[in-house]
């Protein structure tokens, strides 16, 4: 019989991740702000609780997968927060995409209670979460990292250890989202150039996905950008803006000028200003085409 | 016994390509401006000639692989040019990276003499040329494209047909170079962000090459950028500037604003201004780091 | 005999402003964090106090001129803050350059104590403060604006009323600093273009200052940029970075993409990264020249 | 009685300039491609001719004011061109805005015939031409510059001598147009920032025109941009694109990265792509507002 694991956050990513842990034999205590989403897991044997603190047991492990910095801080602190119960020897495996500075602050708070904060943001869409094919970026104290290996093996296809400082995992995660967005902008401009010269967008997307860029980011976003298919949103434009804002804030903290990140930031801002905050972030391609007179 | 094929341009790319054709059984007549480079091929059975026109036979095929627009125009036109002899039924398979507008003009000139101009720029570095693993972007009249398939099969691992208009192959080629340069800028900014926050550049490059971007462009340039290893130059910074200049000129012809291309253009310009025109074009990463105070 | 006025902040701007008020017949109570700076004013009749709260009298007026948001918040709130004493009918004429959002929050705090917060940021360098030639951007409740006219007449050559909402004065002030920085970038690029083509920077700066742009921003910064004379700093590079950061944050709050502001932000970031945070913000011209290979 | 002067180009600028020369007592021979425009001048005593060459007399002076490089080259060269007649001692005062490289080439051609090419591009709109208030940027051989002073005094309020090399006058002229466009972009972004925060565009334009930027470029374009009044065009968007293209080409010749010029180039390109090539170039403000969601 495996350990009891607490799990917080049952959104598009968290729900399939929690499901995999149940299938792998873990006893799960789950919490979600919108309680209804937990019912499917109750049917599969999870214990559903009504306060974040109640997923924790002294010295045990809690996994969280939430939308943003504020959500993570909410479930950690306060009278209902997991830090009320986690205590010495407890581990919080924090898998959300948040600011490095927030991760640093949270690690400090955990440390004061004897618990350990592990930063473990992931790359992968909901399908990858479902299949246990996430890539996991890990940082925090070594002993705790050893203790979570089994859980990570259930959730991901590999994890990368970036040392003891949890902020670093979040820096790397933001760097990755920035690189994906850069690839989207490059494709949008390249395909528009091609189209204006009589070459079909889809034809060129397909060719590059087989030749220079045979990797899912180019293949999948390339197809979406070629077809202007930005709904339903896998990852919203408004979240793209939030992430680029985090990238620039992190860059500022390190005094790093990132002109390409600034360009992308303005693209996402334009998308949100044009009422496209809820479509997929690949929708920045629409502005590229509009600026070329293709309304 | 296979056909006689003319071959012009024995640089880093052309030399291994010509070698493959000899190995495949073609009788080659070769021309190179610097004659010495042709000697190795003479030893392998090629006929070495001293004027571009002499590689051509009426109605036969000529392949060219040259550095820039001017070089291609030089071997085509004039008293010594291949158009003096190629004539009706002749095919010029033009594999250099040149401006679409130049390709259009050349196609016109060939047409007036009864010959056919096929645009067939390639993706791939000298190693890929050696191994016959180029990706070939093809455009021109259908009958001619059929006639060159056997030759293309010797040189590349696949070819992509972009229709009858030769300009389009060059548009696609330029779009590809732009996308590669975009990936380099994204990596340079991302790695610098990571480094300033204590994450090793090589570590992050390696991780992305295995996860989000498992494709050679990211793996190879990622390693070079992580290590600031920009010599020897596979493709010179000054040629990167030339290509981005062609991208922007082609964009202007189609009225396409390409802000990311403009950003890259200025990066290459800065590199050339800083006396780095002869290092590899991935050397734009040096400016990214310098702007972040890492001299 | 004129009113008693409280004055907080005796830096490069505040000191000459307080001096003018004394000369105009006001009784000043002054506070400065570094007490020594107040001595010159004590000799001219000012009462020097040791806590911000002590410059205030119930229902009277307090003027503040400080370096940043944090400094203003510090003198306002807390046990020693002016809001402890200012009370109903009191006016805080806040002349610092701060974020509109901070101004909004401060106005709210004042309102809860019955006092009025007037935003009154200024354009002008220390010489203009000395000469009473500041331009004052004013926003807040109408009655309070009427009560401060006499004081404003001592400090400035004109004031512009932007309505009841104090945030707006700070938006306008930030917009102005952004426009000044834009003019500096334009001049730096233009002069470098000229220089590389054999035209003297100073010659071209002087010509534009007499013809197209006969206004002090172009004349004074133009001369500094032409001569690469960025010390002593009238306004530090690091403050330029801070202001552009505020511009972009304010733009984000209004969902306004500002690509030129992003460009300037990266310029100032580069300057700070290159250890130039303490030279004048016109020093961004150094990076423009360096990027053109003029070390 | 004053000299006979040849005059070519009777557009918005040329017509009032020619008129002033007549009023000042010069005998004018005029040529315009569209002959009808010359009739008003015939009525005032000018001799109207039907070929460019016919405005010239051996050793005399010809003034030209034309739309672009091609137009200037057309009236100079060929069987009908002024160089057929101008000859030794003749002066061509060329006042159009053209590429420095074109000016260099033209100077060479003139030199071969014994004539002198003086570059004398101007700043000023048609009203300034009417009033003799142009600013004239002058470069070329000293003796010729002396001979044209009297004519320049009729046309402008001042001229600036940039030495012997005619290319330099055109570099300076392009630098000026770039600086004007930069000011327009800065205003468009600043006013949009203000508007989104509840501050009226016109109010803020007026304030800046009286305080920080009391010069016509800011006052006039500021008013137009505040009011979105871009018709009729004083200077067309498509000409703005052409000029920024010349700026970037000139920058490339000197290896000068100009990121702000690139930003403006893309703005004008976007304007032309959106079918706004014929409105005033200040119309780039429309894209700034559209990107902020203000359709």
Local confidence pLDDT in tens for the 295 residues of chain D: 578 899 999 998 999 999 999 999 999 999 999 999 999 999 999 999 999 999 999 999 999 999 899 999 999 998 999 999 999 999 999 999 999 999 999 999 999 999 999 999 999 988 999 999 999 999 999 999 999 999 999 999 999 999 999 999 999 999 999 999 999 999 999 999 999 999 999 999 999 999 999 999 999 999 999 999 999 998 899 999 999 999 999 999 999 999 999 999 999 999 999 999 999 999 999 999 999 999 7
In chain A, % helix, strand, coil (3-state, to 5) comes to 55, 15, 30
The class that CATH gives domain D4-164 is alpha beta
Catalytic amino acids of A?
173
Rounded distance between C-alpha atoms, residue C191 and residue C173, angstroms: 27
Query: Would you call D259 and B263 a contact, using CB atoms and an 8 Å cutoff?
Result: yes
Residues of B in contact with A183 (CB under 8 A): 182-183, 186
d(CA D247, CA D241) in angstroms, rounded, equals 10
Hunting for tokens 């360098």 — which residue is that?
C125
Q: How large is the average pLDDT for residues A107-129?
A: 96
CATH classification of B171-291, choosing from 3.40.50.980, 3.40.50.2300, 1.10.3720.10, 1.10.1040.10?
Answer: 1.10.1040.10
Mutate to test the interface with C, among D167, D173, D215 (most CBs of C within 10 A): D215
Q: Tens digit of pLDDT for each residue in A174-208? A: 999 999 999 999 999 999 999 999 999 999 999 99
Strand blocks (E) in chain C:
4-8, 27-31, 47-48, 61-64, 91-94, 116-119, 122-123, 134-138, 156-161
**For C128-140, how does the pLDDT look when each residue is reduced to its tens digit (9 = 90+)?**
999 999 999 999 9
- Mutation target to probe the A interface, by most A beta carbons within 10 A, among B139, B156, B194 is B194
Q: Which of C37, C133, C145, C173 is labelled catalytic? A: C173
For residue C272, the chain A residues in CB contact (below 8 A) are: 255
Q: Which helix (H) or strand (E) holds C274?
A: none
Residue labelled with tokens 């924790």: A56
**Comparing C1-10, C29-38, C79-88, which segment has the lowest mean pLDDT?**
C1-10
Q: Which of B162, B203, B212 is closest, CB to CB, to A179?
A: B212
- How much is the pLDDT for C271? 98
pLDDT value of residue D1: 53
Helix-, strand-, coil-residue percentages of chain D, each rounded to 5: 55, 15, 30
Q: CB distance C256–A269 less than 8 Å?
A: yes
CA distance A60 to B15: 65
Strands of the sheet with D122-123, listed across from one edge: D122-123, D134-138, D156-161
Q: Following DSSP, what letter does each residue of D25-79 receive, concatenated?
A: T-EEEEE-SSGGGGHHHHHTTPEE-SSGGGG--TT-EEEE--SSHHHHHHHHSST
Are D63 and D5 within 8 A, CB to CB?
yes
Q: What confidence tens digit (pLDDT) does each residue in C53-79 have?
A: 999 999 999 999 998 999 999 999 989
Facing A266 at nearest CB: one of C245, C259, C272 = C259
- pLDDT value of position A1: 53
Q: Quick one: average pLDDT of C254-270?
A: 98
Cβ-contact B269, B244 below 8 angstroms: no
Mean pLDDT, rounded, for C149-173: 97
pLDDT band at B248 (very low <50, low <70, confident <90, very high): very high
Which residues of C lie closer than 8 Å to A, measured between beta carbons? 245, 251-252, 255-259, 262-263, 265-267, 269-270, 272-273
Most D CBs within 10 A among A238, A293, A295, hence the mutation to make, goes to: A293
CATH 3.40.50.720 in chain B, residues? 4-164
* Residues of chain B contacting residue C273, judged by C-beta atoms under 8 Å apart: 291-293
Residues of B in contact with A256 (CB under 8 A): 189, 192-193, 196, 292
Strand C122-123 relative to strand C134-138, pairing: antiparallel
Which residues on chain C are in Cβ contact (under 8 Å) with D250? 193, 197
- Taking residues A64-85, what's their average pLDDT? 94
DSSP per-residue letters across C68-121: SHHHHHHHHSSTTSGGGT--TT-EEEE-S---HHHHHHHHHHHHHTT-EEEE--
pLDDT at C81: 96
pTM confidence score: 0.96
3-state secondary structure of A157: strand
- Record: contact C255-D197, CB cut-off 8 A: no
Q: Considering chain B, tell me which residue range(s) the CATH 1.10.1040.10 domain(s) occupy.
A: 171-291
Dump pLDDT digits (tens) for B83-98: 999 999 999 999 999 9
Q: State the average pLDDT for chain A.
A: 96
Model confidence over C176-231: pLDDT tens digits?
999 999 999 999 999 999 999 999 999 999 999 999 999 999 999 999 999 999 99
D215–C218 C-beta distance less than 8 A: yes
Q: Do A245 and C256 touch (CB under 8 A)?
A: no
B202-243 per-position pLDDT tens digit: 999 999 999 999 999 999 999 999 999 999 998 999 999 999
Residues in chain A: 295
DSSP-based three-state secondary structure for C124: coil
A-chain residue closest to B180, CA distance:
A212
Give residue-wise pLDDT tens across range B253-292.
999 999 999 999 999 999 999 999 999 999 999 999 999 9
- C273 and B291 in contact by Cβ < 8 A? yes
Task: Show the tokens assigned to A4.
Answer: 């009891």
Residue B273: which of C259, C275, C292 has the nearest Cβ?
C292
**Cis peptide bond N-terminal to B49, omega within 30:** no
The whole-number average pLDDT for the span A123-147 is: 96
∠ CA C201-C202-C203, nearest 5°, is 95
Residues 6+ apart with CB under 8 A from D178: C186, C189, C190, C193, D243, D244, D247, D258, D260, D261, D264
Is the Cβ pair C255, A269 closer than 8 Å?
A: yes
In angstroms, the separation between the Cα of residue B48 and the nearest Cα of chain A is 34
Nearest CA in chain A to C270: A257
Residue B207: the pLDDT is: 98
Tokens of D232: 């009729």
pLDDT of residue A3: 80
In B, which residues are within 8 Å of D273 by CB distance? 255-257
Q: Quick one: pLDDT at residue B1?
A: 53
Packing angle between helix D100-113 and helix D69-76, nearest 10 degrees?
A: 10
Q: With a cut of 80, say whether residue C142 has pLDDT above it.
A: yes
**Average of pLDDT values for B131-144?**
97
Q: Is the pLDDT reported for residue C161 higher than 70?
A: yes
| Interface contact B252-D258, CB threshold 8 A | no
Element (H, E) at D159: strand D156-161
Mean pLDDT computed over every residue of chain C: 96
Residue B290's closest chain C neighbor by CA? C274
Tell me how close the Cα of A262 comes to any Cα of chain C, in angstroms: 6
Chain D residue numbers touching C199 (CB-CB < 8 A): 162-163, 168, 171-172
Contact A252 C259 (CB under 8 A): no
* Residues C252, A259: C-beta atoms closer than 8 Å: no
- Distance in angstroms (rounded) separating the CA atoms of residues C147 and C93: 11
Bridge partners, residue B136, by sequence? B122, B159
Nearest to B258 among A189, A208, A218 (CB): A189
CB contact under 8 A, B262 and D263: yes
Residues of B forming the active site:
173
- Spell out which residues of chain B touch residue A193, defining contact as CB-CB under 8 Å: 171, 174-175, 178, 247, 250-251, 254, 256, 258
pLDDT of residue D84: 95
Query: Is there a contact between D273 and B255 if contact means CB atoms under 8 Å apart?
Result: yes
The pLDDT of residue B118 is: 98
Q: Min CA distance, D263 vs chain B (Å)?
A: 7
Chain A positions in Cβ-Cβ contact with residue D258 (cut-off 8 Å): none
């Amino acid at each position: 019989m495996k350990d009891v694991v607490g799990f917080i956050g049952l959104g598009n990513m968290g729900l399939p991740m929690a499901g995999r842990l149940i299938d792998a034999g873990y006893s799960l205590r789950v919490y979600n702000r919108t309680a209804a989403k937990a019912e499917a897991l109750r049917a599969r044997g999870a214990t559903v609780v009504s306060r974040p603190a109640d997923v924790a047991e002294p010295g045990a492990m809690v996994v969280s997968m939430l939308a943003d910095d504020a959500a993570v801080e909410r479930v950690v602190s306060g009278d209902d927060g997991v830090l009320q119960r986690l205590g010495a020897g407890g581990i919080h495996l924090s898998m959300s995409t948040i600011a490095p500075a927030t991760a640093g602050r949270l690690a400090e708070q955990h440390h004061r209670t004897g618990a350990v904060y592990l930063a473990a943001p992931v790359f992968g869409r909901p399908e990858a979460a479902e299949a246990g094919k996430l890539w996991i970026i890990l940082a925090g104290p070594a002993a705790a990292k050893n203790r979570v290996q089994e859980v990570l093996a259930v959730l991901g296809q590999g994890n990368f250890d970036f040392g003891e400082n949890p902020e670093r995992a979040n820096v790397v995660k933001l760097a990755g989202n920035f690189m994906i967005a850069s690839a989207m902008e490059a494709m949008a401009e390249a395909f528009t150039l091609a189209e204006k010269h009589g070459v079909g967008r889809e034809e060129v997307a397909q060719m590059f996905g087989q030749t220079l860029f045979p990797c899912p980011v180019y293949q999948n976003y390339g197809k979406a950008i070629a077809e202007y298919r930005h709904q339903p949103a896998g990852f919203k434009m408004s979240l793209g803006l939030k992430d680029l804002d985090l990238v620039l804030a992190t860059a500022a903290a390190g005094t790093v000028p990132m002109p390409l990140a600034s360009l992308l930031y303005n693209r996402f801002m334009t998308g949100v200003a044009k009422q496209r905050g809820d479509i997929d972030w690949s929708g920045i391609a629409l502005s590229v085409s509009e600026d070329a007179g293709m309304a």
